[in-house]
Structure 1
Amino acid sequence: MLSQDVLETWLDSRSALVFGTAAIALVAVAHRPIWRWSRGAVTIAHEGGHALVALLTGRRLSGIRLHSDTSGVTVSSGRTTGPGMVLTTMAGYVAPSLLGLGGALLVSHGWIRILLWVSIALLAGVLVLIRNPYGLLSVVATGGLIFCVSWFASVAVQAVFAHLFAWFLLFAGIRPIGELQGKRRRGRAPDSDADQLARLTGINGTAWVVLFALVAIIALVVGGRLLVLRPLG
């Protein structure tokens, strides 16, 4: 664990705070044993993205299930074709990156407490849609951690956590897209979001994977630039 003195030193050193948290977040995504655990947060963001866009496009939500293998499913009802269905299906793989970009924007302006409370509010919205025990445990644990940081932690801890939050989502938005294409190439994901989009639109599934990747990379570049170049507070 990082001591309070180390955290306060990081807060005093802009480059140490930004690049130190970026390095930790990158390890959490790149190191397979850690990724097995940290990927669950990405699944929450992924399924939450589906759910939010489903609501915004007028679809009726039946619920969200999160599984211990880090897979998940969001069930909604409504038209089986059309823009609402397309946008809902698109939302999952881009949601973590867009959340990371939003987090980077808030952090770059010093709005760290706002980031923490918005995150709790979004998780509360996901919580009411969860329909299985593991999903309930995952969302409560994630929300509980963020609440404890927002309510009990020092300014230094909050700053480090917020930077880790933003960097992690920015990096983590990319890896599942690569994993998706790897499964598709081996014929193991015939009903993936990309393949569902292909059936809905007639546009090749690989093109959708490329679009997901472009959104994730742009979010990483823009979000990373915000975190590196904008003054804190």
Structure 2
Amino acid sequence: MNVANLSEMWDRLTGTQADPPRWLIGATAAVALAAVLSGGVWRVVRNAVTIAHEGGHGLVALLSGRRLDGIRLHSDTSGLTVSRGKPYGLGMILTAAAGYSAPPLLGLAGAALLAAGHITALLWGATALLLVMLVMIRNAYGALTVVLTGAVFLLVSWLTKAQVQAAFAYLVVWFLLAGGARPVAELQRSRRRDRSGTSDADQLARLTRTPAALWLLFFYVIAICSLVGGGRWLLAR
């Protein structure tokens, strides 16, 4: 790859892209919301939320000084991130809190990029994050899920026209924003059926000696605030 090609790639990455039509922003929001509310579709696309959830655990574990042993993604859309370090303290609390917080916060970050016109940066950045996450995947289904997801981002960013890229980027961001609260609601329902105390909220309750319901509220607040804030940025765009 010569200098001219590298310069062109850098210009694409750092440059801004044209505003998409307003109808496209509204249409992608409607499609994302329908996917979140539809039970059948949600069971499939929830894998993307699980990737963000477990990726959040893994990233914060590394940033807080813990040793990340690996990530597993399962066909029932559940996941598991294993890290080593002190089983208490701020690092452990942040790691446990990162899972349900990650999807809506990623959506908020994506909305900020789109509001600034950086569609290409969002697509390439997401592909890079998926590539990094792939290194830490420890099961076949998880690797396949991450590879396929990354391939979609890569193909869209390289082989499609600008309007298709914009539609895909807005759809992904709307989905993360709109889908941030549903996993929390599912967690709330599952805790009523399963009293084993193994959920993120229960783990945080033990670590901080606060009620698990407080952590559920914390996750809801992050999801709702991200949706409102990110939605305003996208619609203002």
Aligned length: 220
The alignment partner of 1:128 has SS state of helix
- Residue pair 1:183, 1:189 contacting (<8 A) in 2 also: no
Structure 2, unmatched stretches of 5+, are 1-17
- Structure 2 equivalent of residue 5 of structure 1: none
Report the alpha carbon displacement of residue 175 of structure 1 after superposing the two structures with TM: 0.4
The alignment partner of 2:210 has SS state of coil
1:90 to 89, 97, 114: 97
- Residue pair 1:96, 1:169 contacting (<8 A) in 2 also: yes
Structure-to-structure mapping, 1:66-215, within 5 angstroms: 66-187=73-194, 190-215=197-222
Query: Given the superposition, is the C-alpha separation of residues 153 and 185 from structure 1 closer, same or farther in structure 2, using an over 3 Å criterion?
Result: same
Among all aligned residue pairs of Structure 1 and Structure 2, give the percentage whose two residues are the same amino acid. 57
- Structure 2 equivalent of residue 226 of structure 1: 233
The alignment partner of 2:198 has SS state of coil
1:41 to 25, 48, 56: 48
The CA distance in 2 between the partners of 1:191 and 1:85, in whole Å, is 15
The CA distance in 1 between the partners of 2:187 and 2:29, in whole Å, is 24
2:34 to 27, 40, 57: 27
Normalization by structure 2: what TM-score?
0.91
The alignment partner of 1:190 has SS state of coil
Normalization by structure 1: what TM-score?
0.92
Structure 1, unmatched stretches of 5+, are 1-10
The CA distance in 2 between the partners of 1:156 and 1:128, in whole Å, is 32
Query: Which 4+ stretches in 1 moved above 4 angstroms?
Result: none
Report the alpha carbon displacement of residue 125 of structure 1 after superposing the two structures with TM: 1.1
- Structure 1 equivalent of residue 6 of structure 2: none
The CA distance in 2 between the partners of 1:228 and 1:33, in whole Å, is 28
The alignment partner of 2:81 has SS state of strand
The CA distance in 1 between the partners of 2:224 and 2:172, in whole Å, is 17
Report the alpha carbon displacement of residue 109 of structure 1 after superposing the two structures with TM: 1.3
